[in-house]
Amino acid sequence: MDLLLPGPSLAEWLLATLADRKVALWTGPDAGRGLGGRAARATTTMLRERLGWTELAGASGLDALVVVATLGGVEPPADGLAAVRGGGLLVELAHPPKVSLWRPSRWAARGELVRRASASRAGLWLGRGCFAVEQWAPIDAPRVLVTCGRVRAIPGA
């Protein structure tokens, strides 16, 4: 993530981008661990309560989908993108996996995992039918990788 340009503050950007929209939140099973994960989870929990975001299960006709997951971990369900209308926004907040302080040999491996996984995330969303994909690291949560894009409006494409 050290190669990414810094972006805006995460909470302010999400609030400005997703206010007055029908949004669902999907959180991966291992999301929220480590410094970046706690920051992403705290931000989305606060905004979910403030803006009334829904759960992804059973949702349809969404304007946006927010995904919180570990970088390189579990991917969101494929039907999650199907619930978002054409031209809707997909926002993924991914954080690197937690590394224990007593295992310094894994720190270098974690850096390489972050570089490879951040490069593959854009390809994943492009492969699932998104366009206008961008990535950045928020200035207030530098250990979170934000990947966002628009869902293709052409049915079956």
The pLDDT tens digits of the residues spanning 35-66 come to 777 888 888 888 899 889 988 887 888 999 99
- The secondary structure of the chain, three-state, reads CCCCCEECCHHHHHHHHHCCCCEEEEECCCCCCHHHHHHHHHHHHHHHHHHCCEECCCCCCEEEEEEEEECCCCCCCHHHHHCEEEEEEEEEEEECCCCCCCCCHHHHHHHHHHHHHHHHHHHHHHHCCEEEEEEEEECCCCCCEEEEEEECCCCCC
Structural domain spans, the chain: 6-150
Residue with the bigger pLDDT between 23 and 117: it is 23
Q: What number is the average pLDDT over the span 85-106?
A: 78
